[in-house]
């Protein structure tokens, strides 16, 4: 079945609905919902039951870029500066040195195993060098697993900031493959200019977004998301136009905007969170349709070897080199190594060589697809087990269970926290008054055995209780964590 203007909305709505319904069962098996979206696209594609023929890399690349722009922007909006600031140095090291080391190791091994040129191998390595934390956190939240210390903000920062580096390497090695006489050294100034312009544009347009949003005073509230959308696409396209890294600019602008006070902040952040999910589904469905599973079969052997190289060799070496100067213990570094899931971004980047007409581009695309899916299936399904084995997990403390949608105004420095009390917790059996909570913190509600309880000083905390806590200010959050013996 060929896509046309008459059936694309019908087929698209059916695929979206099936993807969302399928995602409800994904958490039970520890498989990221995004992979299931990809499978739905493959089943609906030319080699699948749906028989929908789609083989246009240019359209897929365009949709991928649009989707990545939304995803990076939404991720930046949700990134709390106070959380990532302590790990800024480590995060930048992972997103630059870590990406470069990963690309180099995978590239050299690919050249040897596939009997291709070193440049083509490095191109493949560059494509699979960035991680996809969206899949990681969907599993951690579904399995009710939290992470100790700075692991979570470090992974968030890495995932949002390593795509620009991988994008630069992919475009650069695509150019070098097509121009063998060009020198790698000649690309260094282009890299520095791209990153500097991306940073400057991101900061500038981030501040401009705040100013315009707060000053424009639109009469129709529904136009604010449209206003932000226009600024987002302008930031990306203008930065690319002047030679900067558009993905980096978008992420930095979103961080600046998300950590500032602006009108309709809560509703706008919810809107773009929903849009990011929509774009992720569309991107995975499109990539699934673009893939011909029958063409991947011949590459299963090399794909398994390269996936093993990436998971067990390149990623751990890259993490330990990039974090050599950090004070993280080896257990946390090893877990960060295991969290190097590859998702949609490498598959989108694998389209660039196809469009450029690189000789071995079809082979590279199919290998990248297989490696990305293998990475998510192997690492994604074992994240909770590895976190427990390495003793870096704590009970998830932000998973919303209370049927409350409490809006806290942006100018009020209040905080709502939720805690699960695990089995054998040291606070189980203690009365609330014995917890020594800060004076500015209050346990508002307890969810126990399907019922909601009001709280008094003599209320005894029990195992598997779920607590809703309100704090007058964010400064006491660490003290609250200490009372429950949870690492913040």
Checking if the pLDDT of 413 tops 80, the result is no
- Of 365, 395, 425, the last residue of a domain is 395
Give the per-residue pLDDT at 290.
84
Residue 144 main-chain phi, psi, to 5 deg: 60, 40
Whether residue 406 lies inside any domain: the answer is: no
Residue 1 lies in a domain: no
Kindly report the CATH number assigned to the domain that includes residue 420.
3.30.70.1450
Specify the pLDDT at position 146.
65
Whether the pLDDT of residue 250 is over 80: the answer is yes
CA distance 432 to 449: 18
**Structural domain contains residue 408:** no
Range of the domain at 285: 8-395
> Can you give the CATH number for the domain in which 391 is found?
1.20.1530.20
In a domain, 219, yes or no: yes
* Residue % of the chain over a pLDDT of 70: 88
Residue 342 lies in a domain: yes
**Interacting residues of 374 by C-beta distance below 8 A, sequence separation 6+:** 303, 304, 307
488 domain residue, yes or no? no
Q: What is the band of 236 on the pLDDT scale with cuts at 50, 70, 90?
A: very high
Whether residue 194 is found in the same domain as residue 314: yes
Whether 474 and 371 share a structural domain: no
Give how many domains the chain has, as a whole number.
2
Which of 349, 367, 395 is a domain's end point? 395
pLDDT in tens, 328-381: 889 999 999 998 888 778 888 999 999 998 989 999 999 998 998 888 888 877
Give yes or no for residue 185 having a pLDDT over 90.
no
């Amino acid at each position: 079945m060929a896509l046309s203007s008459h059936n694309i909305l019908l087929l698209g709505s059916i695929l979206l609905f099936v993807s969302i319904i399928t995602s409800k069962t994904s958490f039970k098996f520890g498989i990221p919902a995004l992979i299931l979206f990809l499978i739905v696209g493959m089943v609906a594609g030319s080699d699948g039951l749906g028989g929908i023929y789609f083989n246009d890399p240019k359209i897929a690349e365009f949709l991928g870029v649009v989707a990545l722009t939304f995803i990076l922007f939404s991720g930046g909006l949700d990134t709390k500066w106070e959380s990532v600031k302590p790990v800024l140095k480590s995060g930048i090291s992972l997103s630059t040195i870590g990406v470069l080391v990963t690309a180099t190791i995978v590239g050299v091994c690919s050249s040897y195993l596939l009997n291709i040129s070193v440049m083509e191998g490095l191109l493949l390595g560059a494509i699979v060098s960035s991680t996809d934390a969206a899949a990681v956190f969907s599993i951690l939240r579904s399995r009710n697993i939290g992470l100790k210390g700075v692991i979570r903000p470090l992974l968030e920062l890495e995932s949002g900031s390593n795509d620009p580096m991988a994008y630069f390497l992919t475009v650069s090695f695509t150019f070098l493959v097509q121009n063998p006489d060009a020198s790698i050294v000649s690309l260094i100034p282009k890299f520095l200019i791209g990153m500097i312009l991306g940073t400057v544009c991101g900061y500038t347009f981030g501040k401009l977004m705040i100013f315009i949003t707060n000053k424009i005073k639109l009469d129709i509230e529904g136009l604010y998301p449209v206003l932000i959308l226009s600024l987002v696409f302008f930031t990306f396209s203008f930065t690319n136009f002047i030679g900067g890294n558009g993905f980096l600019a978008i992420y930095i602008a979103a961080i600046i905007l998300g950590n500032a006070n602006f009108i309709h902040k809560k509703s706008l952040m919810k809107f773009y969170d929903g849009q990011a999910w929509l774009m992720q589904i569309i991107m995975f469905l499109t990539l699934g349709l673009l893939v011909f599973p029958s063409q991947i079969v011949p590459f299963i052997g090399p794909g398994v070897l390269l996936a093993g190289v990436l998971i067990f060799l390149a990623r751990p070496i890259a993490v330990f080199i990039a974090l050599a100067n950090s004070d993280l213990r080896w257990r946390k570094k090893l877990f960060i190594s295991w969290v190097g899931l590859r998702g949609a971004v490498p598959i989108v980047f694998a389209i660039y060589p196809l469009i450029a007409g690189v000789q071995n581009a079809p082979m590279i695309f199919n290998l990248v697809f297989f490696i990305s899916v293998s990475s998510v299936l192997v690492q994604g399904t074992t994240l909770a087990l590895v976190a427990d084995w390495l003793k870096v997990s704590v009970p998830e403390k932000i998973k919303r269970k209370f049927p409350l949608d409490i809006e806290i105004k942006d100018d009020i420095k209040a905080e709502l926290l939720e805690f699960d009390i695990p089995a054998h917790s040291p606070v189980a059996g203690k009365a609330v008054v014995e917890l020594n909570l800060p004076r500015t913190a209050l346990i508002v509600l307890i969810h126990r055995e399907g019922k909601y309880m009001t709280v008094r000083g003599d209320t005894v905390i029990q195992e598997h209780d779920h607590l809703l806590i309100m704090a007058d200010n964010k400064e006491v959050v660490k003290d609250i964590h200490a009372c429950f013996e949870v690492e913040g």
